[in-house]
Amino acid sequence: MTAAVDPFHAISISGLAHRLKAEGRSILHMEFGQPSTGAPAAAVAAAHAVLDTDGMGYWESAPLKARICRHYAETYGVAVKPGQITLTCGASPALVLALSATFNPGDVIAMARPGYVAYRNTVKALHMVPLEIPCGAESRFQLTAATLAALDPAPAGVILASPANPTGTVIPGDELAAIAEVCRTRGIRMVSDEIYHGLTYGEPAHSMLEFEPGAIVVNSFSKYFSMAGWRLGWLIVPPAEASRAVAYMGALFLTAPSLAQHAALAAMDCHDELQGHLATYRRNRELLLEALPALGLEKIAPPDGAFYIYADVGRLTDDSLAFCKQLLQDTGVAAAPGIDFDPVDGRRFIRLSFAVSTPQIEEAIRRLVPWFAAAWAKAA
């Protein structure tokens, strides 16, 4: 029996945006969580050199795995062995591997609501059961140790994300430690999605490996490293489970793209360029936060990291998909409807990505201010 998987509504918004652009409209793409910048210059140069000298093939880069291990030692102070790392075709296949190689059909996997649409859908597609736990402003839209301790019965697993999509909220280190303790006590396996690490605007995000060496970690070169189109990620599992992850990767996906692996090794040492991207996101975030009062958007999730504003528009609509379509038609600004991330309360929310250029953010604000003013006047 096939599983019922919900559509990703932001894709339909993006399709409409591209049709409008083809008609000559000026479109600002703020619907997807992807950097508008390309891969670092050194990564592109490395790829050109490989294309000129290497026919490539199925391959897993030992130097890249070693470099990722060094990253964990330097950034988080944790020891990861190369054998624990499986290079994947992006974070989405890493999540498939993490779930399929760890859990069984019918297992209950807890996750925050709102949360990334692929968590719910991937769990469903693998014939597991998503347990979406409503998380509001009182918990910064995140799961807490107390929430997990109160679940009866305990789920087989939990998916955590810090910084999170769509909210950008970060779980503090002391709370991650408390979550790890609850999960150890109750036998809940943790899958930590850390693809937005490196993109924070206050304290750096903590890896769950700092608190639980047995955690399963998903990460990617798509966000901080600005390599979304290169389709490269990685999965970290405990040593005893490494061979199973490798077997699943080989059976389902063979290997990660060879060219992307060469480029990613160079990208990991492009600190100054990548921090320049972060500085742009920081400025974009400031501009949007300053503009929110003029937009009448007072209730937002705190964007501690990632590159999103998750805003409550419930006083204007209870149909966020129709709202985003009208917003796009009227202003050329594409946003993601909250129902992608929360099928219950997301009808009252929208998500704006600020991973675009600063001039695009400034133009978006110029378009949005009068549009929201008219919407509020109509709703009054």
- Does residue 378 form part of some domain? no
182-223 pLDDT, tens digit per residue, is 999 999 999 999 999 999 999 999 999 999 999 999 999 999
The average confidence (pLDDT) of the chain is 96
The arithmetic mean of pLDDT across residues 127-154, rounded, is 96
Q: Identify whether residues 180 and 90 lie together within a single domain.
A: yes
73-123 pLDDT, tens digit per residue, is 999 999 999 999 999 999 999 999 999 999 999 999 999 999 999 999 999
**106 phi-psi bin (left φ>0, alpha ψ -120 to 50, beta other):** left
How confident is the model at residue 380, as a pLDDT? 76
Residue 333 neighbours by CB under 8 Å, 6+ apart: 28, 30, 327, 364, 367, 368
> What angle in degrees, to the nearest 10, is found between the helix axes of 62-76 and 258-267?
40
Of 243, 269, 295, the one marking the end of a domain is 269
Does residue 56 register a pLDDT over 90?
A: no
Q: Identify whether residues 81 and 192 lie together within a single domain.
A: yes
How confident is the model at residue 379, as a pLDDT? 84
Q: Identify whether residues 75 and 163 lie together within a single domain.
A: yes
Name the least confident of 7-16, 73-82, 174-183, 276-285. Answer: 7-16
List phi, psi (to 5°) of 40: -55, 150
Q: Identify whether residues 30 and 66 lie together within a single domain.
A: no
Of 222, 248, 269, the one marking the end of a domain is 269
Does residue 4 register a pLDDT over 90?
A: no
Of 235, 252, 269, the one marking the end of a domain is 269
Provide the domain limits for residue 322: 9-39+272-372
DSSP 255-285: S--HHHHHHHHHHTT-HHHHHHHHHHHHHHH
- Does residue 128 form part of some domain? yes
Q: Identify whether residues 136 and 259 lie together within a single domain.
A: yes
Q: How many independent structural domains does the chain possess?
A: 2
Residue type, 377: A
How confident is the model at residue 6, as a pLDDT? 79
- Does residue 48 form part of some domain? no
Give every strand in the sheet of 85-88, ordered side by side: 85-88, 233-236, 216-220, 189-193, 157-161, 108-113, 129-134
Does residue 334 register a pLDDT over 90?
A: yes
Q: Identify whether residues 262 and 346 lie together within a single domain.
A: no
Strand partners, 111: 132, 159
How confident is the model at residue 1, as a pLDDT? 62
223-257 pLDDT, tens digit per residue, is 999 999 999 999 999 999 999 999 999 999 999 99
User: In this structure, how many other beta carbons lie within 10 angstroms of the beta carbon of residue 103?
Assistant: 20
CATH number of the CATH domain containing 217: 3.40.640.10
List phi, psi (to 5°) of 110: -85, 150
- Does residue 377 form part of some domain? no
**Which of 186, 182, 193 lies closest to 115 in space, CA to CA?**
193
Q: Identify whether residues 116 and 29 lie together within a single domain.
A: no
Does residue 341 register a pLDDT over 70?
A: yes
**Rounded to an integer, what distance in angstroms lies between the CA atom of residue 66 and that of residue 71?**
9
Q: In this structure, what token pair is assigned to residue 211?
A: 């608190």
- Does residue 94 form part of some domain? yes
- Does residue 379 form part of some domain? no
Run of H or E residues at 365: helix 358-379
Maximum Cα interatomic distance, the chain, rounded to a whole number of Å: 65
